[in-house]
Amino acid sequence: MEKLRISGTNPLFGEIAVCGAKNAAVAIIPAALLVNGVCRIENIPDIKDVRLIIDMLVQLGASVTYVNDTTIEVNSSRLKTHVAPTELASKMRASYYLLGALLGRMNKAEVALPGGCNFGTRPIDLHEKGFRALGATVEIEDGIVYTNAQELCGCTIYLDTVSVGATINIMLAAVLAKGRTVIENAAKEPHIVDVANFLNAMGAKVRGAGTDVIRITGVPEMRGGCYSIIPDQIEAGTFMLLAAAAGGEVLVRNIIPKHMDSLTSKLEEMGVNVTEYDDSIRIERSGSLKGISVRTMPYPGFPTDLQPQMVALLSTVKGNSTVTEDVWENRFQYVDELRAMGADIEISGKKALIKGGTLHGSEVRATDLRAGAALIIAGAATEGVTQISSPHYIDRGYSDIERRLRSIGVKIERIFEAD
């Protein structure tokens, strides 16, 4: 059995660079299916979810060539099918982007319902609503989503809930549709803007990404180009929280400081010294920190994908804190693992009440991607040895994690135990 073993606690020093954004990459790579030509995509992270989505593109008939470790060229001019490989699609959440991309390019798609981390119900009704408004039929049978259109026509769609996935999927389906599409109450996450910028670089006309209203004027064809993915906001935040928890002085490089505003202000409120540069942030923590209240919200609010890592940090900070999860209905399952390390966390509905204190190393399990990152943070800030099983969840979103963390002083190694 594979595990990550961490020995805490020592302050961290040095520099760590952030990779390209996972959630942008897993949308931009399928978006290349819309392009009748070659897309060169730079700064892709070397993580499992990206490899999975690339495999799916290849099975759909796209040719994908690695130029180097972080750059691929995708040529979708000869797609051979609109049917995504079921086994692969059901392994990850972002496979739902194949629906929008294939529908947009081929007027039809068959894709298994998505998998991914389990935070309670994860509906796709808003994606369906968008496709129907564009003129497609959508049916779900035996876990497969079938969508079909004679022709896609621009329309106005109001999203009842702010949804990252639905906003991107409707953009993908609309860029080649006839006429104008307006998405109201759109999500504003950095990767929404990144996908829009990618589409525009390939020849689309998408305006307003990053605001509540996105306007898309359909174009007859997209012909290809070159695009570089933004740095990962969540990976950057994970490293910032890790440095705050373990103490010391760490420069997190290749970052867009504006994307980190909600986290930066919370860290400063706790007493962490945060210095912003053009494309890096220095985290310094020497003394003790104080408890705070945090509420997750769509961007520019505090990201739900940093909630478990923030709870891990707050568990090590003396005093009371509250963390309210307002995006997902059930994103506190990992708390039992922190409790095994001695954390005092009470869950009351959407709220976690944390009485911070001293944790101890323990045997724990990564229950999902960000929960796994939270356990690394707790382990690095805690006396003794913490062993995290199921590290494959962490590998879905963090590339070469133990080597990169060792470079700033985290005592972490991957071990293999006989089952």
Angstrom distances, CA of residue 395 to CA of 320, 349, 390: 32, 30, 10
Using CB under 6 A as the binding rule, whether residue 127 contacts ligand UD1 is answered as: yes
Which residues partner with 112 through β-bridges? 144
* Peptide bond connecting 386 to the previous residue in cis, omega within 30 degrees of 0: no
Which residues partner with 4 through β-bridges? 388, 414
Using CB under 6 A as the binding rule, whether residue 145 contacts ligand UD1 is answered as: no
For residues 180 and 218, the answer to whether their CB atoms sit within 8 Å is yes
Q: Which stretch binds ligand UD1 (CB under 6 A): 66-74, 103-111, 120-128, 372-380?
A: 120-128
417: how many CB neighbours lie within 10 A of its CB? Answer: 10
CA–CA gap between residue 375 and residue 344 (Å, rounded): 15
Using CB under 6 A as the binding rule, whether residue 304 contacts ligand UD1 is answered as: yes
Task: Return the residue nearest ligand UD1 (CB atom).
Answer: 165
Q: x/- string (CB under 6 A) for ligand UD1, residues 16-55? A: -------x--x-----------------------------
Q: In this complex, which beta carbon is closest to ligand UD1, that of residue 33 or of residue 166?
A: 166
CB of 382 to ligand UD1, least distance (A): 26
Instruction: State the catalytic residues.
Output: 117
CA–CA gap between residue 309 and residue 373 (Å, rounded): 6
Q: x/- string (CB under 6 A) for ligand UD1, residues 174-203? A: -------------x----------------
Tell me which of 72, 124, 202, 381 binds ligand UD1, using CB under 6 A: 124
Residue 115, CB half-sphere, CA atoms under 13 Å: how many? 14
Tell me which of 161, 265, 286, 330 binds ligand UD1, using CB under 6 A: 161
Contacts with ligand UD1: how many residues (CB under 6 A)?
Answer: 20
CA–CA gap between residue 136 and residue 158 (Å, rounded): 17
Q: In this complex, which beta carbon is closest to ligand UD1, that of residue 8 or of residue 235?
A: 235
Q: Where would I find the H helices in 317-381?
A: 335-340, 369-380
Tell me which of 131, 328, 334, 398 binds ligand UD1, using CB under 6 A: 328
CA–CA gap between residue 120 and residue 8 (Å, rounded): 32
CB of 262 to ligand UD1, least distance (A): 12
| Contact residues: ligand UD1, CB under 6 A | 23, 26, 93-94, 122-127, 161, 163-166, 187, 304-305, 327-328
